[in-house]
Amino acid sequence: MVKTIGNNLIINHWNGKPYSQRYFDILDKRKTLPIWHQKYDFLQVLNHNQTLILVGETGTGKTTQIPQFILEAIDLETPHPDHKHKKMMIAVTQPRRLTTMSVSRRVAEEMDVTIGEEVGYSIRFEDCSSERTVLKYLTDDMLLREAMTDPLLERYKVIILDEVHERSLATDVLFGVLKEVLKKRPDLKLVVMSAALETHKFRGYFLGAPLFKVPGRLHPVEIFYTHEPERDYLEAAIRTVVQIHTCEPAGDILVFLTGEEEIEDACCKISKEIANLGDQVGPVKVVPLYSTLLPDMQQKIFEPAPPPVKEGAPPGRKIVVSTNIAETWLTIDGIVYVIDPGFVKQKIYNPRIPAEYLAVFPISKASAHQRSGRAGRTQPGKCFRLYTERSFNNDLQPQTYPEIFRSNLANTVLTLKKLGIDDLVHFDFMDPPAPETLLRALEMLTYLGALDDEGTLTKLGEIMSEFPLDPQISKMLVVSPEFNCSNEILSISAMLSVPNCFIWPRDQANKAVDEAKARFGHIHGDHLTLLNVYHAYKQNNEDASWCYDNFVNYRALKSADNVRQQLVHIMARFNLKLCSTDFNGRDSYVNIRKAMLAGYFMQVAHLERTGDYLTVKNNQVVQLHPSNCLDHKPEWVIYNQYDQTSQNYIRTVTDIRGEWLVDIAPHYYDLSNFPQCEAKRVLEKLYQKQEKEKDEARICK
């Protein structure tokens, strides 16, 4: 059904098609958003300023409406004589892939256009936009990548940095980069949007840019604290859910937990406990929410609560158990009760190890405020904080620590160097990173050969910066043709860039699972196991049911295949040869492992006489993660990830030989600059052996 005025159809000027009924239905909803009434004022302020800061509570309509307001008001014709056919664009950045996709889809629906045409999105390894695109949602790191080839971001007329309160690493870097671009491009406009911010800090940084506030429409939320600290927050959270469900009036519940495993576990226990209560209580729908969940499962959080069993019976309830992704970007209508145990799983970087890993931390006061706000969207609500009021006042940090303080900056430094920003010390960071972290990043890039001794980007470094991957992985890709195995290294890199491809059922020791594991397992380690899985997937015609039968995640493999294709394009741009090692030859797996070592030589651990592993140069005691597929403990391993949980683990490990260390990375394994340890003594012998072999070779000649 389409609408008409008189006999005329109402035509969508973006694509020349008549508007659908759905467009008008959504339009009615959009008109009720708080931001709708400030459209004119907003456009006025934007018109008079180059930079503008916009603050409004979650759900006021910033992300979905502001770009459309601008689109209606601004002329996107390009002043560039060469690009006459193509309009300029509006960019909206998001810190997360998931929001980038979901929000752009929503806006395409609101504008009644097909996603990928007038409205598109771009995330790492997936570009869903076209020549027609005028509004592009993209992750912040993708905009930074675009700046590498288009330093003045000339294809954009307006850039919107969204969700800046998250202070993601790429957004922080974009702040500094865009400040410079704005000086050189007076026609470009910047809108900085946030759900809450340290106003003074931002206005100080953006040199007095006007602040535009959108008043929210939050209902009051009553906050409850515990009297004593809880010993087990998971158990306390489950108990609180059951109490609310038994004692409180209708309204859905949102519980904040820290990660996939914990959330699945909690969902299971909540369902069981409530089932045990029988008919005394209403029915429930328990829904998990975390970023690696499949999209159709994510959609379940928008479904309504189940109705009561019969009229007059206790009400049904929806119970959403989520990571902090439900904290600001996602609006779930109907939530009345929030349970906040006060923890979040975050990335952390320790420059002394040096490693980046995930760990659970107390949240900030700002986060606690956002979480409680989720209860007051549709009516007055209640928030149960599972910590004491004293702890809230005394222990919680006011703001979440910006990601720039919690990250390995090697990749960022490489990007900045590629952008031509050499003087990192004077770069205009909103919060400058720790000098030690910057130093580590420079050191690592120098060891990898991406920077020379003066800190200048090398030819190798330029090529490495083009790969949207960690520098170790880009390095092994770039040098893989020298080891005659770029095809295999491409597959391994792709597999390392997607979520875990194995689906081992969590509860049982299953014979079929063990057999599947044994089928793919490679004696030399996990990287080669990943390669086996990828090869088997291709040999079985990328078949979804084959994946299912073999406990392999079809979506992960499909996505690895896509990543691989994109990496192949980048290799081709730099004339890097695609070649395969001869699998009949004795050295096939040796070549692959050597190529990996050429990138990973700084992530090596040595087996000590005690039976523990010690990381090379940093002397951290670590264990092989139990998920590894080795049947023995090799003397030397490379590892992909450091994992600090109850023990220090290294994950995704592959067996390598000590001789290769002194052959491939003598600059790093320089013993004059090596801490005293067992590994050093072994290396000394290996160097002696190498010398002896060289001498013998000379004599033979």
- List interacting residues with ligand ADP (CB under 6 A): 33, 56, 58-65, 102, 106, 331
The residue count for binding Mg ion (CB under 5 A) is: 2
Nearer to Mg ion, 56 or 461 (CB): 56
Task: Tell the smallest beta-carbon distance from residue 668 to Mg ion (Å).
Answer: 44
Cβ-contact 642, 634 below 8 angstroms: no
Nearer to Mg ion, 140 or 655 (CB): 140
Nearer to ligand ADP, 303 or 582 (CB): 303
Nearer to ligand ADP, 221 or 450 (CB): 221
Q: Which partner, ligand ADP, Mg ion, none, binds residue 331 by CB below 5 to 8 Å per kind? A: ligand ADP
Q: Which partner, Mg ion, ligand ADP, none, binds residue 525 by CB below 5 to 8 Å per kind? A: none
Nearer to ligand ADP, 58 or 322 (CB): 58
Separation CA 427–CA 174 (nearest Å): 11
**Of 99, 323, 315, which Cα lies nearest the Cα of 193?**
99
Q: Which partner, Mg ion, ligand ADP, none, binds residue 471 by CB below 5 to 8 Å per kind? A: none
What are residue 653's DSSP bridge partners?
A: 639
Task: Tell the smallest beta-carbon distance from residue 118 to ligand ADP (Å).
Answer: 18
Cβ-contact 380, 413 below 8 angstroms: no
Nearer to ligand ADP, 58 or 603 (CB): 58
Spatial neighbors of 121 by CB under 8 A, at least 6 apart, are 100, 101, 104, 105, 115, 128, 129, 136, 137, 138
Task: Tell the smallest beta-carbon distance from residue 298 to ligand ADP (Å).
Answer: 10
Separation CA 15–CA 113 (nearest Å): 7
Separation CA 596–CA 575 (nearest Å): 20
**Of 171, 173, 164, which Cα lies nearest the Cα of 195?**
164
Task: Tell the smallest beta-carbon distance from residue 150 to ligand ADP (Å).
Answer: 27
DSSP state of 502: B
Task: Tell the smallest beta-carbon distance from residue 252 to ligand ADP (Å).
Answer: 15
Q: Which partner, Mg ion, ligand ADP, none, binds residue 581 by CB below 5 to 8 Å per kind? A: none
Q: Which partner, ligand ADP, Mg ion, none, binds residue 61 by CB below 5 to 8 Å per kind? A: ligand ADP
Q: Which partner, ligand ADP, Mg ion, none, binds residue 334 by CB below 5 to 8 Å per kind? A: none
Q: Which partner, ligand ADP, Mg ion, none, binds residue 345 by CB below 5 to 8 Å per kind? A: none
Q: Which partner, Mg ion, ligand ADP, none, binds residue 56 by CB below 5 to 8 Å per kind? A: ligand ADP
Nearer to ligand ADP, 137 or 600 (CB): 137
Q: What is the 3-state secondary structure (H, E, C) of 144-192?
A: HHHHHHCCCCCCEEEEEECCHHHCCHHHHHHHHHHHHHHHHCCCCEEEE
Nearer to ligand ADP, 328 or 640 (CB): 328
Q: Which partner, ligand ADP, Mg ion, none, binds residue 461 by CB below 5 to 8 Å per kind? A: none
Task: Tell the smallest beta-carbon distance from residue 59 to ligand ADP (Å).
Answer: 4
Looking at residues 5 to 64 of the shown chain, list those that interact with Mg ion (rule: CB under 5 A): 62-63
Cα–Cα distances in Å, from 348 out to 322, 408, 476, 579, 691? 21, 9, 25, 37, 42
What are residue 337's DSSP bridge partners?
A: 253, 382
End-to-end CA distance of the chain: 88
Nearer to ligand ADP, 106 or 124 (CB): 106
Q: Determine the 3-state secondary structure of 341 from DSSP.
A: coil
Radius of gyration from C-alpha coordinates of the chain: 28
Phi-psi label, residue 208: left if phi above 0, alpha if psi -120 to 50, beta otherwise: left
Task: Tell the smallest beta-carbon distance from residue 474 to ligand ADP (Å).
Answer: 34
Cβ-contact 246, 238 below 8 angstroms: no
C-beta nearest to Mg ion: residue = 63
Residue 486 CB neighbours (<10 A): 26
Nearer to ligand ADP, 65 or 122 (CB): 65
Task: Tell the smallest beta-carbon distance from residue 58 to ligand ADP (Å).
Answer: 4
Task: Tell the smallest beta-carbon distance from residue 97 to ligand ADP (Å).
Answer: 15
Binding of Mg ion at residue 168 (CB under 5 A)? Answer: no
Nearer to ligand ADP, 135 or 469 (CB): 135
Q: In terms of DSSP bridges, do strands 189-194 and 156-161 run parallel, antiparallel, or are they unpaired?
A: parallel
Task: Tell the smallest beta-carbon distance from residue 332 to Mg ion (Å).
Answer: 14
Task: Tell the smallest beta-carbon distance from residue 363 to ligand ADP (Å).
Answer: 19
Separation CA 221–CA 584 (nearest Å): 68
Q: Diameter of the chain by CA atoms? A: 99
List of residues contacting Mg ion (CB under 5 A): 62-63
